[in-house]
Amino acid sequence: MEIRGPLELPARREEIELRTVDGLTLVGELAQPEEKPAVATLVTLHPLPTAGGFMDSHIIRKAAARLPALADLAVLRFNTRGTTSPRGTSEGAFDGGAAEQFDVAAAMDLVRDRALPRPWLLGWSFGTELALKYGGEHDIAGVVLLSPPLHRATNAEVAAWGNTDLPVVVLVPELDDYLRPDEARQRFATIPHAQLIAVEGGRHLWVGETQTRRVLTEIVAAVNPAALPLPTRWPPND
């Protein structure tokens, strides 16, 4: 069958709860390869919850549905404080990206406690702000930023990544609603080693199978390039 839309490929899926240092319980899911150890981990940070973002936002949901099987990746996704999805509602209330630093830390605590390998932060929109503001505090292998608006991350917080050797991969849609490639190149110039990928025809929400496949391919190119090219049918040898 063709891999597209909501198709969920085989994986070991586990409902998880994260506990923050300020006493909240966050709900989420951990998906891992079905029959082998993961080679790396995606810790996903979803778009703005006040604009409909949650752990099931489609790129994050499809990463969890496909990449454990296609690219041997573990995918951790969760609702930040006050956010609701079919999995449930995380305790607390949206804090504009401030107290959400504790949510990121709780996810990284689970990564450490489970000894999940080579964690990468995968942020989308609001999630990129959390990755840029707080990711440097944690033991990570790199960051992938999808549609970064750069509304909350300060210039200093962005520039701080230039003082690290961590990979910073930035996917900027050509037709983004908030930050387009030319401005993004200027804003990320303080990270000399950042890989900025301008996606022709791309839009902020990455709607459609063509854009979904492009995004997932770029994620895998950063995190586990040996898995490329990603199959478009399942089982892969069909």
* Full set of structural domains in the chain with CATH: 12-227 (3.40.50.1820)
Give pLDDT tens digits for 39-94: 999 999 999 999 999 999 999 999 999 999 999 999 999 999 999 999 999 999 99
CA dihedral 110, 119, 163, 219 (to 10 degrees): -140
Q: Which residues, in sequence order, are bridge partners of residue 119? A: 41
**In whole angstroms, what is the distance from residue 135 CA to residue 132 CA?**
6
Amino acid at 114: R
Give pLDDT tens digits for 117-155: 999 999 999 999 999 999 999 999 999 999 999 999 999
Number of helices followed by number of strands (H, E) in the chain: 6, 10
Residue that is written with structure tokens 């209330």 in the block: 93
**In whole angstroms, what is the distance from residue 74 CA to residue 67 CA?**
8
